[in-house]
Amino acid sequence: MYKTILFDFDGTVFDTGEGIMKSVQYAAEAFGYHEPDWQALREFVGPPLTDTFAKRYNVDEETAKAMTAKYRERYRVNGLDECSVYPGVPELVQKLKAHGANVAVATGKPTAFTVDILERHGLGGLFDAVLGSEFDGRRGQKWEVISELLDQFGHDGAVMIGDRDNDVRGAKRCDIPCIGVAWGYAEPGELEREGAIVVARDTSELEKLLIG
Protein backbone atom coordinates (compact mmCIF):
# COMPACT_ATOMS: atom_id res chain seq x y z
CA MET A 1 0.00 0.00 0.00
CA TYR A 2 1.10 3.56 -0.68
CA LYS A 3 2.32 5.55 2.32
CA THR A 4 1.60 9.05 1.02
CA ILE A 5 -1.33 9.72 -1.28
CA LEU A 6 -1.67 13.14 -2.89
CA PHE A 7 -5.04 14.08 -4.38
CA ASP A 8 -5.56 16.76 -6.97
CA PHE A 9 -8.63 18.84 -6.08
CA ASP A 10 -10.44 20.27 -9.13
CA GLY A 11 -11.90 17.36 -11.06
CA THR A 12 -10.63 14.76 -8.58
CA VAL A 13 -12.00 15.52 -5.10
CA PHE A 14 -14.56 18.18 -6.08
CA ASP A 15 -16.38 18.91 -9.31
CA THR A 16 -15.57 22.60 -9.42
CA GLY A 17 -16.08 23.01 -13.15
CA GLU A 18 -19.16 25.24 -13.06
CA GLY A 19 -17.57 27.88 -10.85
CA ILE A 20 -14.28 27.82 -12.74
CA MET A 21 -15.75 27.96 -16.23
CA LYS A 22 -18.32 30.65 -15.42
CA SER A 23 -15.58 32.76 -13.82
CA VAL A 24 -13.36 32.28 -16.88
CA GLN A 25 -16.28 33.39 -19.06
CA TYR A 26 -16.67 36.47 -16.87
CA ALA A 27 -12.98 37.35 -17.15
CA ALA A 28 -12.73 36.66 -20.87
CA GLU A 29 -15.71 38.85 -21.72
CA ALA A 30 -14.31 41.66 -19.54
CA PHE A 31 -11.28 41.62 -21.87
CA GLY A 32 -13.36 41.54 -25.04
CA TYR A 33 -13.40 37.80 -25.76
CA HIS A 34 -16.95 36.57 -26.34
CA GLU A 35 -17.59 33.19 -24.70
CA PRO A 36 -21.34 32.51 -24.91
CA ASP A 37 -20.96 28.85 -23.87
CA TRP A 38 -19.19 28.44 -20.52
CA GLN A 39 -19.22 24.66 -21.00
CA ALA A 40 -16.70 25.14 -23.81
CA LEU A 41 -14.10 26.23 -21.24
CA ARG A 42 -13.37 22.79 -19.77
CA GLU A 43 -9.66 23.15 -20.49
CA PHE A 44 -9.40 25.64 -17.61
CA VAL A 45 -10.30 23.04 -14.97
CA GLY A 46 -7.01 21.85 -13.52
CA PRO A 47 -4.02 23.50 -15.26
CA PRO A 48 -2.57 26.86 -14.12
CA LEU A 49 -5.05 29.57 -15.03
CA THR A 50 -2.50 32.10 -16.26
CA ASP A 51 -1.00 29.54 -18.65
CA THR A 52 -4.41 28.56 -19.98
CA PHE A 53 -5.58 32.15 -20.45
CA ALA A 54 -2.39 32.87 -22.40
CA LYS A 55 -2.83 29.78 -24.56
CA ARG A 56 -6.53 30.15 -25.34
CA TYR A 57 -6.55 33.87 -26.07
CA ASN A 58 -2.97 34.20 -27.35
CA VAL A 59 -2.15 36.99 -24.89
CA ASP A 60 1.09 37.91 -23.15
CA GLU A 61 1.91 36.97 -19.57
CA GLU A 62 0.86 40.29 -18.07
CA THR A 63 -2.53 40.18 -19.78
CA ALA A 64 -3.00 36.57 -18.70
CA LYS A 65 -2.24 37.56 -15.10
CA ALA A 66 -4.76 40.42 -15.34
CA MET A 67 -7.38 38.00 -16.68
CA THR A 68 -6.65 35.65 -13.79
CA ALA A 69 -7.17 38.50 -11.33
CA LYS A 70 -10.48 39.31 -13.02
CA TYR A 71 -11.45 35.64 -12.82
CA ARG A 72 -10.83 35.62 -9.07
CA GLU A 73 -13.02 38.70 -8.70
CA ARG A 74 -16.05 36.55 -9.57
CA TYR A 75 -14.78 33.22 -8.26
CA ARG A 76 -14.30 34.34 -4.65
CA VAL A 77 -17.91 35.67 -4.60
CA ASN A 78 -19.81 33.04 -6.59
CA GLY A 79 -17.51 30.25 -7.70
CA LEU A 80 -16.73 28.86 -4.26
CA ASP A 81 -20.32 27.66 -3.99
CA GLU A 82 -20.64 26.39 -7.57
CA CYS A 83 -19.21 22.95 -6.86
CA SER A 84 -19.88 19.57 -5.26
CA VAL A 85 -17.78 16.77 -3.82
CA TYR A 86 -17.51 13.63 -5.95
CA PRO A 87 -19.49 10.78 -4.35
CA GLY A 88 -17.33 8.29 -2.49
CA VAL A 89 -14.19 10.41 -2.29
CA PRO A 90 -14.49 11.47 1.40
CA GLU A 91 -15.21 7.88 2.40
CA LEU A 92 -12.18 6.67 0.44
CA VAL A 93 -9.92 9.24 2.08
CA GLN A 94 -11.12 8.12 5.51
CA LYS A 95 -10.36 4.48 4.63
CA LEU A 96 -6.87 5.38 3.42
CA LYS A 97 -6.13 7.25 6.63
CA ALA A 98 -7.49 4.34 8.69
CA HIS A 99 -4.93 2.13 6.91
CA GLY A 100 -2.16 4.47 8.04
CA ALA A 101 -1.56 6.49 4.89
CA ASN A 102 -0.80 10.20 4.84
CA VAL A 103 -3.46 11.75 2.59
CA ALA A 104 -3.09 15.32 1.32
CA VAL A 105 -4.46 17.66 -1.32
CA ALA A 106 -1.96 18.84 -3.94
CA THR A 107 -3.73 21.37 -6.11
CA GLY A 108 -3.01 24.21 -8.49
CA LYS A 109 -5.95 26.07 -6.95
CA PRO A 110 -5.09 28.72 -4.36
CA THR A 111 -4.72 27.09 -0.96
CA ALA A 112 -7.18 29.55 0.61
CA PHE A 113 -9.92 28.76 -1.93
CA THR A 114 -9.40 25.01 -1.47
CA VAL A 115 -9.57 25.18 2.32
CA ASP A 116 -12.66 27.40 2.09
CA ILE A 117 -14.51 24.91 -0.14
CA LEU A 118 -13.65 21.98 2.12
CA GLU A 119 -14.83 23.85 5.19
CA ARG A 120 -18.08 24.95 3.52
CA HIS A 121 -18.86 21.27 2.91
CA GLY A 122 -17.94 20.13 6.42
CA LEU A 123 -14.74 18.48 5.23
CA GLY A 124 -12.20 20.81 6.81
CA GLY A 125 -10.42 18.07 8.74
CA LEU A 126 -10.61 15.37 6.08
CA PHE A 127 -7.03 15.64 4.77
CA ASP A 128 -3.73 15.61 6.64
CA ALA A 129 -2.60 18.63 4.64
CA VAL A 130 -3.98 20.94 1.95
CA LEU A 131 -1.52 22.78 -0.29
CA GLY A 132 -1.98 24.72 -3.49
CA SER A 133 -0.79 27.87 -5.20
CA GLU A 134 -0.78 31.30 -3.58
CA PHE A 135 -2.27 34.57 -4.79
CA ASP A 136 1.23 36.07 -5.11
CA GLY A 137 2.23 33.44 -7.67
CA ARG A 138 4.10 31.04 -5.42
CA ARG A 139 3.77 27.33 -6.26
CA GLY A 140 2.19 28.19 -9.60
CA GLN A 141 3.09 24.82 -11.10
CA LYS A 142 1.78 21.44 -9.91
CA TRP A 143 5.25 19.95 -9.45
CA GLU A 144 6.13 22.69 -6.96
CA VAL A 145 3.10 21.77 -4.82
CA ILE A 146 3.89 18.06 -5.02
CA SER A 147 7.54 18.65 -4.15
CA GLU A 148 6.72 20.63 -1.03
CA LEU A 149 4.31 17.97 0.22
CA LEU A 150 6.85 15.23 -0.45
CA ASP A 151 9.39 17.19 1.60
CA GLN A 152 6.84 17.08 4.43
CA PHE A 153 5.67 13.47 4.18
CA GLY A 154 8.51 11.75 2.33
CA HIS A 155 9.00 10.43 -1.20
CA ASP A 156 8.99 6.73 -0.28
CA GLY A 157 5.72 5.06 -1.24
CA ALA A 158 4.15 8.25 -2.56
CA VAL A 159 1.61 8.52 -5.39
CA MET A 160 -0.33 11.33 -7.10
CA ILE A 161 -4.03 10.99 -7.94
CA GLY A 162 -5.36 13.35 -10.60
CA ASP A 163 -7.60 13.93 -13.59
CA ARG A 164 -5.45 16.07 -15.92
CA ASP A 165 -2.16 15.91 -17.79
CA ASN A 166 -0.46 18.43 -15.50
CA ASP A 167 -1.01 16.05 -12.57
CA VAL A 168 0.87 13.32 -14.42
CA ARG A 169 3.67 15.64 -15.52
CA GLY A 170 4.03 17.09 -12.03
CA ALA A 171 4.28 13.63 -10.52
CA LYS A 172 6.84 12.51 -13.11
CA ARG A 173 9.00 15.57 -12.43
CA CYS A 174 8.96 14.63 -8.73
CA ASP A 175 9.75 10.98 -9.53
CA ILE A 176 6.52 9.50 -8.22
CA PRO A 177 3.80 7.61 -10.12
CA CYS A 178 0.41 9.07 -11.00
CA ILE A 179 -2.90 7.25 -11.03
CA GLY A 180 -5.49 8.97 -13.19
CA VAL A 181 -9.21 9.19 -12.50
CA ALA A 182 -11.79 8.99 -15.26
CA TRP A 183 -14.47 11.12 -13.62
CA GLY A 184 -12.68 14.46 -14.08
CA TYR A 185 -11.95 16.80 -16.97
CA ALA A 186 -9.32 15.01 -19.06
CA GLU A 187 -9.86 14.60 -22.78
CA PRO A 188 -10.03 10.98 -24.00
CA GLY A 189 -6.56 9.43 -23.84
CA GLU A 190 -4.99 12.46 -22.14
CA LEU A 191 -3.91 10.71 -18.95
CA GLU A 192 -2.63 7.58 -20.69
CA ARG A 193 -0.70 9.67 -23.22
CA GLU A 194 1.13 11.57 -20.46
CA GLY A 195 2.08 8.38 -18.65
CA ALA A 196 -0.44 7.70 -15.88
CA ILE A 197 0.28 4.18 -14.66
CA VAL A 198 -3.44 3.35 -14.68
CA VAL A 199 -6.76 5.19 -14.86
CA ALA A 200 -9.42 4.35 -12.26
CA ARG A 201 -13.00 4.40 -13.55
CA ASP A 202 -14.58 5.05 -10.14
CA THR A 203 -13.73 5.32 -6.44
CA SER A 204 -14.20 1.58 -5.88
CA GLU A 205 -11.56 0.82 -8.47
CA LEU A 206 -9.29 3.51 -7.04
CA GLU A 207 -9.65 1.98 -3.58
CA LYS A 208 -8.53 -1.41 -4.91
CA LEU A 209 -5.51 0.18 -6.58
CA LEU A 210 -4.50 2.05 -3.41
CA ILE A 211 -5.33 -0.49 -0.72
CA GLY A 212 -5.61 -3.79 -2.56
Indicate the DSSP class of residue 10.
B
Question: Which of 54, 81, 108 marks a domain boundary?
Answer: 81
Based on the fold, state whether residues 38 and 132 are members of the same structural domain.
no
Based on the fold, state whether residues 163 and 128 are members of the same structural domain.
yes
The CATH number that applies at residue 8 is 3.40.50.1000
Q: Which residues pair with 158 in a beta bridge?
A: 4
Which residues have a Cβ under 8 Å from the Cβ of 129 and sit 6 or more positions away? 102, 104, 105, 149, 152, 153
Based on the fold, state whether residues 49 and 38 are members of the same structural domain.
yes
- The predicted-structure confidence for 11-66, as pLDDT tens digits, reads as follows 999 999 999 999 999 999 999 999 999 999 999 999 999 999 999 999 999 999 99
Selecting among 8, 10, 15, 128, the annotated active-site residue is 8
Tell me whether residue 151 is one of the annotated catalytic residues.
no
- The model's confidence at residue 3, banded by pLDDT at 50, 70 and 90, is very high
Residue 101 has pLDDT above 90, yes or no: yes
Domain that holds residue 144: 4-15+84-211
**Per-residue pLDDT averaged across 116-144, rounded?**
96
> What does the pLDDT read at residue 59?
98
The CATH number that applies at residue 38 is 1.10.150.240
- The predicted-structure confidence for 160-197, as pLDDT tens digits, reads as follows 999 999 999 999 999 999 999 999 999 999 999 999 99
How far apart CA 176 and CA 146 sit, in angstroms, is 10
Handedness of CA 133, 139, 144, 148 (dihedral sign): negative
Helix (H, G, I), strand (E, B) or coil at 200: strand
Residue 130 has pLDDT above 90, yes or no: yes
Task: State which amino acid sits at residue 46.
Answer: G
Question: Which of 50, 81, 112 marks a domain boundary?
Answer: 81
Q: What is the mean pLDDT of the chain?
A: 97
> What does the pLDDT read at residue 70?
98
Residue 212 has pLDDT above 90, yes or no: no
DSSP 52-93: HHHHHHT--HHHHHHHHHHHHHHHTTTGGGS-EEPTTHHHHH
> Cβ atoms within 10 A of the Cβ of 188, count?
8
Cβ–Cβ under 8 Å, residues 35 and 29: yes
> What does the pLDDT read at residue 137?
87
Based on the fold, state whether residues 116 and 161 are members of the same structural domain.
yes
Task: State which amino acid sits at residue 9.
Answer: F
Question: Which of 33, 56, 81 marks a domain boundary?
Answer: 81
φ, ψ of residue 202 in degrees (nearest 5): -155, 180
Distance of alpha carbon 183 from the chain centroid: 13
Based on the fold, state whether residues 98 and 198 are members of the same structural domain.
yes
Based on the fold, state whether residues 27 and 101 are members of the same structural domain.
no
Q: Which residues pair with 85 in a beta bridge?
A: 14
**Looking at the 3D structure of the chain, how many domains does it have?**
2
> What does the pLDDT read at residue 55?
97
- The model's confidence at residue 1, banded by pLDDT at 50, 70 and 90, is confident
